[in-house]
């Protein structure tokens, strides 16, 4: 991995799944799904407004975000 960051442990940035703009974390409550490696958290896109994202931690301890689905909400 050639990607270097000087931000250390600061929070990762995520892109909007619709327009790829930066999403802003609203500091909402986190809703964990089943095991604690998945959770739902609210973000804000300047273009699309508030949205819930499903976040998961991969093997490299990076957090991966995808748009939350109604299935996710049933698994809380
Ligand atoms: Zn957007």
pLDDT in tens, the chain (76 residues): 555 555 455 568 899 999 999 999 999 999 999 877 899 999 999 999 999 999 999 888 899 999 999 999 998 8
Contact 18, 47 (CB under 8 A): yes
Whole-angstrom distance, CA of residue 3 vs CA of residue 45: 25
Those residues whose beta carbon sits under 5 angstroms from the ion ligand 1 are 16, 18-19, 45, 47-48
What pTM value is reported for the model?
0.78
**C-alpha span between 42 and 5 (Å, rounded):** 25
Distance 74 CA to ligand 1 centre (A): 25
Alpha carbons 54 and 73: distance in angstroms, whole number: 10
Ligand 1: centre distance to CA 21 (Å): 6
């Amino acid at each position: 991995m050639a990607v270097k960051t000087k931000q250390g442990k600061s929070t990762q940035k995520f892109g909007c799944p619709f327009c790829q703009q930066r999403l802003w974390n609203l500091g909402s409550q986190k809703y964990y799904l089943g095991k604690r490696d998945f959770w739902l958290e609210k973000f804000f896109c300047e273009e699309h407004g508030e949205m819930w994202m499903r976040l998961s931690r991969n093997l490299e301890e990076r957090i991966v975000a995808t748009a939350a689905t109604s299935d996710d909400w049933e698994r809380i």
